[in-house]
Amino acid sequence: MKFRDGMWLTAEGLRVEYAEEVYSIKKTEQGLSLLCPTKKIRSRGDTLNLSTLTIDIEAQSDGIISVETTHWQGETNKGPHFDLYPAGKPSFDAKVSEGTEGTTLTAGSLAVTIEPGTFDIRFDAADGSKHLTSLSNRSVGLAYSPAPSNPLQTGDLRDFKHYIFTQTSLAVGESVHGLGERFGPFNKLGQSVTLWNADGGTSSDQAYKNISFWLSNRGYGVFVDHAGKVELEVGSERCCRVQTSVEGQRLKWYVIYGKTPKEVLYRYSTLTGKPSKVPSWSYGLWLSTSFTTNYDEATVNSFLEGMKERDITVDVFHYDCFWMPAFKWTDFVFDSERFPDPKAQIGRLKASGLVKKVCVWINPYIAQHGEAFQEAAEKGYLLKRKNGDVWQWDLWQAGMGLVDFTNPAAVEWYVNCLNKLFDQGVDAIKTDFGERVPTRDVAWHDSSVDPEKMHNFYAFLYNKVVYEALEQRYGPQQAVLFARSATAGTQRFPLQWGGDCESTPEAMAESVRGGLGLGLGGFAFWSVDIGGFEGFPPAWIYKRWVAFGLLCSHSRLHGSSSYRVPWTIDDDDRSDEGCTRTLAKWTALKNRLMPYLFTQAAQAVEGGIPLSLRAMCLEFPEDPTAWFLDRQFMIGDNLLAAPIFDESGEVEFYLPKGKWTSFFTNEVRTGPGWFREKHGFGSLPLYVRENSVLLLGKEGVRGAVYDYAEDVEVCLYHVSEGAKATLIDHEGKELGVIEAGSDGNIKNDKILKGSPTVSKDGRKIDEHTTKAIKSLT
């Protein structure tokens, strides 16, 4: 929301008042409280008939300081509120000091200084090494809409909207990233961004996952502690500022400092929650029935048998919506005509070895024609209107209601419904939707919550309930979701996928940008609909998307009205460049990468950083180019991937400083610099970072779950003595560390089983794949 018409005028229809000075500073238990009148006080009479803003600045933990601006403190601070420091608040030392430059509050490595006699609040590294951002002249204020013509009118705010806004400074060359899974430009500078969950696909400014955290290339991040709608003007109202505004009487946000972007994300994930680990089987290939396609037990079996016959291992099979009858979503009951004995069928699938696990689709909407609606409505498990009626509409499912997760009894009922699915052999849940949550004429069971704040926060409650039900049934670190909606903190309940994308190269690029952005919000795991959700992908798009999708942390074949098994895409072309062989090769490659991926995943969880897609700026923050790269990504610390978006197979990508070795050819390139290549469908630019020890599973492994220590290929890439790689088994137990010695050999190889091999200059390569790669620069 913009409050100004250019620099000199107030926007039409608004009244805006700014904090003009810091009148007084009071020490509090955790920091400082600033009294800020909206005009300069030159005499006692100036203190009358004006508004004031209170700015409470508190040290929260090392490197984290909160700033809360309040107009009228009597406003009830309704929930829901983000669950902060869920693992406990770290201990630290905070101090307040006075000096010639002003009053300074220090929270470990971060300091904020308030300059006397003016309005200037500066955030700096505590050691003085770096200035981060500031609140300066006319950067904190309140606004009314419409503008009252008489102060007496503000005694009744029913006809007015009231806003609080703050503006942090942007330095020359500063860029802003994150704010959730956004599909537009990676650098948000110049954009107006509204944080409001919506089912808008991947080609608009709407987002399924709005995360109120952004990361600056200057070494800090800002988390907005407001569960409801947040509006940002990122250099789009004042080019030199990021403006944050909310409707209400208070606005609270946190400045988070770190010497590296990874340290910022570590502290952010300490504040909002670290992602949980997911089991090794979830990294394998997932196959879906697709959305509106027609299927039954015979169709499912034909898909899985066809994949096996074509040497493509499927670890998870997913039943999308129509496992339930039409008009009855979600009632948790299999369509008896198509699946007369689901428990037996699922049991047969697993016993046959065609899949390891089974997933089903659900959502929090309960259609009135299903078996679940009557009980849920009668017992008060559904959201109600203010007059006591069940809130319903016909958008999506006829007469659907919405599960009220603020009602403990509704949560218990919903979990019991899930347990019946688990009893039938379901291992994972796709938690679709959760974005279309009403805010008007609704009354939640918990009357202390604000319906406007519940809109985004509903995604947290919904996924939390399902995740904890899975965890209760299958044990710690064994729960797996496939969620579409999210808000800050939802990274604790992995994993998430990118929503409804079209089957086009542009949509694939949109998805890459979405995954990069979400990863900057503490989300370790992310997936995408391989081939695109909407439409019928041409063979070349399907194959390029397969390569991209199998390099995401998690990989699922899913479409809307068309299947995604490869033989339906190109009339079962079995040639080396056909869809079938392409999918088989990339699935096999990901399975071989599991010793590397599973270890990197554990490190990503600990650090609150993405496994894949990992933005280049997290690994190379000192390289200015890395902050603008939105068509490539890192997979863990050591692998760089650049998807191909052109039918010709040509691709341009950037390599940061250092030596980089092609995974497919062992050719070495030296960065920094831009490069161009042309690839067949069995490869893309996949480069290994200098000084990497890359552990690959044995050739010919089937699926993502196997003995990661047996017959390992240890690949050394321009290593120096001490280069290391940790090895974790498929159950998550750390086996030890492989380390490069001074003679080019490896230490501690006793943790390896069978017949391990060491490749000292890259890895053993496939000459056939090498021939399909051409360097253009």
Positions annotated as catalytic residues are 432, 435, 500
Specify the length of the chain in residues: 777
Beta bridge partners of 612: 525
| Greatest CA separation for the chain | 87
- Please report the sign of the dihedral spanned by the C-alpha atoms of residue 254, residue 258, residue 260, residue 266: negative
Pairwise CA distance, residues 751 & 757, whole Å:
13
Q: State CA 4 to chain mean position distance.
A: 32
Phi-psi region of 88 (alpha: psi -120 to 50; beta: other; left: phi over 0): left
Pairwise CA distance, residues 740 & 727, whole Å:
14
Q: Give the Cβ contact number of residue 66 at 10 Å.
A: 22
Residue 724, amino acid: K
Encoded tokens for 192: 């107006």
Pairwise CA distance, residues 59 & 632, whole Å:
37
Distances, alpha carbon 715 to alpha carbons 592, 661, 741, 758, in Å: 12, 11, 13, 6
Pairwise CA distance, residues 158 & 620, whole Å:
51
Distances, alpha carbon 48 to alpha carbons 44, 71, 541, in Å: 8, 16, 67
Contact 216, 175 (CB under 8 A): yes
Contact 77, 224 (CB under 8 A): no
Pairwise CA distance, residues 693 & 720, whole Å:
10
User: Which segments within 204-249 are labelled E, that is strand?
Assistant: 210-216, 220-224, 230-234, 241-247
Contact 202, 507 (CB under 8 A): yes
Q: In what helix (H) or strand (E) does residue 198 lie, and over which residues does it extend?
A: none
Pairwise CA distance, residues 668 & 661, whole Å:
4
Contact 548, 279 (CB under 8 A): no
Beta bridge partners of 224: 253
Strand 713-717 and strand 757-759: the pairing is parallel
Encoded tokens for 674: 């831009």
Contact 772, 682 (CB under 8 A): yes
- Going by C-alpha positions, the residue among 115, 40, 42, 33 that lies closest to residue 68 is 33
Q: In what helix (H) or strand (E) does residue 768 lie, and over which residues does it extend?
A: helix 767-771
Provide DSSP, 135-173. Answer: E-TT-EEEEEESPPSSGGGGG-GGG-EEEEEEEEE--TT
Contact 734, 708 (CB under 8 A): no
> Distance between terminal CA atoms of the chain?
46
User: Coil, strand, or helix at residue 493?
Assistant: coil
- Going by C-alpha positions, the residue among 269, 119, 97, 120 that lies closest to residue 111 is 97
> Which residues make Cβ contacts (< 8 Å) with residue 193, sequence separation at least 6?
179, 182, 205, 231, 232, 234
Q: In what helix (H) or strand (E) does residue 36 lie, and over which residues does it extend?
A: strand 31-37
Burial of residue 150 (CB within 10 Å: 0-12, 13-18, 19+) is exposed
Distances, alpha carbon 265 to alpha carbons 21, 181, 410, 496, 612, in Å: 33, 16, 35, 18, 15
Distances, alpha carbon 584 to alpha carbons 20, 535, 543, 550, in Å: 65, 23, 11, 11
